[in-house]
A and B are shown apart, each in its own frame.
Chain A
Amino acid sequence: MTGALEFAALVIQLAGMAARVGGDVIDILDWGKARVETMRSEGRDPTAEEWDEINGKIDAARARLHDDA
């Protein structure tokens, strides 16, 4: 029975994680789309601040990806 409970806990954990990550990815895509739409509507290219913002997010995500701790 313990095995079944552990399995159920794993399924719930994975379900929660999938939902959370799916939401995060969609948020990022929406954020990127909104930024590019704004640039288009204002007829300009990305500003230094916008580049710095996305670089910061990418650096943080890459640090996690390559972290073996």
Chain B
Amino acid sequence: MTDEKPWYGSRTILANAIGGITALLAIFGLDLSPEAQTQVATLVMLLTNLVNIGLRFVTTKPIKRDKGGTVNSHWIVVALLVLLAACDSRIAPVTTTTTDGTPQQVIFAAHADYLALLTAANAYVSLPRCADDATLSDRACSRPRVVKIIRAADNDAFIVLRSAQDVARDEAPDKGTVQRWADRARSAIGVLRAILTNHNLIEGAAS
């Protein structure tokens, strides 16, 4: 028995590797929070162990080895690092709602943010449905209960945004009224954003 472990058994190395990969992915618009990177590192270790166990059952001939382990293991880990980093790339923070500009511009910006949230929600809702108590990752299937919550939150947000838009498009809106609706529009999408964040579908960030 030895205390030595292959490189992919080190959470520190994995975390640094994922940090590097995510920095590379960020160039292409895929951002991972430090918390998510830690989760990916843990997941890679877990999956690597599972894959190695699986290979033990299907392998009948010895393969070329180096100091760290099998050649296959190295490639599997590298592939998992890249794929999981991309897979776990929660949608970048949808938190650009502006408070600057006229209330009409703020309401328009809230609509744009709402559209971005809808796109993130659609990615989840379009996944195959699984049971509400399923243990699969949130990214592998969508839970009916969560879909229902998202749709209800969307209905609420949509009603508020359309009302705000009606006021904003008025020929001569009352200044105070349109400002109040701008605030309501921001709050409405804040609720939808919070629901998506709580279910880990987008990154949480201060708005």
Chain A partners chain B? yes
Residues of A within 8 A of B (CB): 1, 3-4, 10-12, 14-19, 21-26, 28-29, 31-33, 35-36, 39-40, 45-46, 48, 50-51, 54-55, 57-58, 61-62, 64-66
**For the side of the interface on B, what is the size category?**
35 or more
Task: Supply 14 further A-B pairs (C-beta < 8 A) apart from A4-B54, A21-B122, A39-B108.
Answer: A15-B87, A18-B88, A18-B89, A21-B119, A25-B119, A28-B115, A29-B94, A32-B108, A33-B96, A33-B109, A50-B108, A58-B111, A61-B119, A64-B122
Mask: chain B, 101-125; 1 = CB below 8 Å from A; 0 = not: 1101100110111111011111101
Cross-chain contact B94 with A25 (CB below 8 angstroms):
yes
Q: A66 CA to B115 CA in the complex, in Å?
A: 14
What residue in chain A is nearest B178 (Cβ atoms)?
A: A45
Taking CB atoms, residues of chain B closer than 8 Å to A15 are 83-84, 86-87
Known contacts A36-B105, A46-B168, A4 near B116 by CB under 8 Å: no
Q: Does B51 interact with chain A (Cβ within 8 Å)? A: yes
In the bound complex, residues from chain B placing their C-beta under 8 Å from that of A10 are 140
- Least CB distance, A54 to chain B, in whole angstroms: 5
A64 and B126 form a contact (CB under 8 A): yes
In-complex Cβ contact of A28 among B116, B123, B139 (8 A): B116
- A51 to B104: give the CA distance in the assembly, Å: 11
Q: Judge whether B184 is part of the interface by a CB distance below 8 angstroms.
A: no
**Neighbouring B residues of A62 by C-beta, 8 Å:** 118, 154, 158
A47 CB, min distance to chain B CBs, angstroms = 10
User: In the complex, what residues of A have CB within 8 A of residue B104's CB?
Assistant: 45-46
Residues of A within 8 A of B158 (CB): 58, 62
Contact with A along B150-172 (1 / 0, CB 8 A): 11001000100000010011000
Q: Given A4-B54, A39-B105, A58-B111, A21 and B87 touching (CB < 8 A)?
A: no
Q: Is B29 an interface residue when CB atoms closer than 8 A count as contact? A: yes
Tell me whether B78 is interfacial, beta carbon within 8 Å: no
